[in-house]
Amino acid sequence: MRLAGAVQLPPEESIMLAAVQFGRALRVGGLCTSVDSENVFLRALAEIDVREATTVYWAGHAAFVKSPDQIETYKIIFERFWEGRPLIPTARGSEHGESDARMGGSHHGGEALPQFGGKGKEKVALDGEKTR
């Protein structure tokens, strides 16, 4: 498990940094994590084979998951963590194909995009030229 764009650190420091970032992502995801639970996770990592996804998964589960309703969030964030994907998704706006309830009218699919709104009909561009 190597974080994208991370400086090459000694293995112990890389594991510690990854574990802290994992705990932070869980906290952002809604789990109530603490320094104590991060320490428990780090101690567990020192005792297991960190190359085995299953053992790392259960070490984190034991340290961070406090109730059954947290399991799904834990699974999702763990998958990102193990696969080396960004742990905290970046904020983004609606993309074409998505609806945005704040916008009036029909603004989903290609209909909100001017180049697709005409559905093949000729239009007159701002410069007076006809376009398709």
Number of structural domains the chain divides into: 1
Residue 69 pLDDT more than 90?
Answer: yes
The identity of residue 107, as a single letter, is: H
pLDDT of residue 122: 53
- Hey, what are 36's tokens? 């104590």
Q: Which residues pair with 130 in a beta bridge?
A: 124
Is there a domain that residue 22 lies in? yes
Expressed as residue numbers, the domain containing 50 is 11-83
pLDDT of residue 103: 47
Is there a domain that residue 110 lies in? no
Residue 111 pLDDT more than 60?
Answer: no
Burial of 83-94, coded b for 16+ CB within 10 Å and e otherwise, reads eeeebeeeeeee
Is there a domain that residue 111 lies in? no
DSSP state of 111: G
Is there a domain that residue 4 lies in? no
Is there a domain that residue 28 lies in? yes
Is there a domain that residue 62 lies in? yes
Is there a domain that residue 26 lies in? yes
Question: H helices of the chain, where?
Answer: 11-28, 35-47, 53-64, 71-83, 114-117
Residue 104 pLDDT more than 70?
Answer: no
Contact 80, 87 (CB under 8 A): yes
The identity of residue 71, as a single letter, is: I
Considering the chain, what percentage of its residues have pLDDT values greater than 90?
Answer: 44
In whole angstroms, give the CA distance from residue 75 to residue 72. Answer: 5
